[in-house]
Amino acid sequence: MEQEKYNTGKRKWKQLSERERYKIEALFVQGLTPAQIGESLNPKRDRRTIERELAKGMTKQLDYELREKIVYLADVGQRKHDEKAAEKGRGYKIGHDHKLARHIENKIKNEKYSPDAVIGEIKEKGLIFQVTICTKTLYNYIESGFFLNISNKDLPIKKDGKRRKYRQIRKVALNNTKGRSIEERPAEIETREEYGHWEMDCVVGSGKACLLVLTERKRREEIIFKLASKTQACVKKTIDGLEMRYKSKFSEKFKSFTMDNGSEFLDMQGLEDSCLKPGAKRTVCYYAHPYSSWERGSNENQNKLIRRFVPKGCNINKLTQKDVKRIENWINNYPRKIFGYKSANDIAA
106-160 per-position pLDDT tens digit = 999 999 999 999 999 999 999 999 999 999 999 999 988 888 889 888 888 765 5
Backbone angles phi, psi at 243, to 5 degrees: -65, -40
* Residue 8 predicted with pLDDT over 60: no
**Distance in angstroms (rounded) separating the CA atoms of residues 224 and 332:** 11
**Signed CA dihedral, 171, 173, 177, 179: sign only:** negative
* Residue 349 predicted with pLDDT over 90: no
pLDDT tens digit string along 194-225?
Answer: 999 999 999 999 989 999 999 999 999 999 99
3-state DSSP call for residue 189? helix
* Residue 328 predicted with pLDDT over 60: yes
Identify whether the C-beta of residue 205 lies closer than 8 Å to the C-beta of residue 313: yes
**Signed CA dihedral, 137, 138, 142, 145: sign only:** positive
**Distance in angstroms (rounded) separating the CA atoms of residues 197 and 253:** 8
| Percent of the chain whose predicted confidence (pLDDT) is above 70 | 89
Residues with Cβ < 8 Å from 289, sequence gap 6 or more?
168, 169, 170, 171, 173, 181, 182, 295
pLDDT for 158 = 60
- The amino acid occupying position 198 is W
pLDDT tens digit string along 239-293?
Answer: 999 999 999 999 999 999 999 999 999 999 999 999 999 999 999 999 999 989 9
Cα Rg of the chain, angstroms? 33
**Distance in angstroms (rounded) separating the CA atoms of residues 238 and 95:** 52
Please state, rounded to an integer, the average pLDDT across all residues of the chain: 89
Residues with Cβ < 8 Å from 203, sequence gap 6 or more?
210, 211, 213, 303, 306, 307, 310, 316
pTM of the model: 0.71
Identify whether the C-beta of residue 196 lies closer than 8 Å to the C-beta of residue 255: yes
pLDDT for 2 = 45
**Distance in angstroms (rounded) separating the CA atoms of residues 289 and 284:** 17
Nearest alpha-carbon partner for 40 in 57, 23, 56 = 23
pLDDT for 233 = 97
pLDDT for 170 = 60
pLDDT for 326 = 97
Nearest alpha-carbon partner for 268 in 158, 349, 182 = 182
* Residue 4 predicted with pLDDT over 90: no
pLDDT tens digit string along 66-108?
Answer: 788 888 998 998 998 888 877 666 667 787 788 999 999 999 9
CB atoms within 10 A of CB 198: 25
pLDDT for 287 = 96
Nearest alpha-carbon partner for 216 in 323, 344, 339 = 344
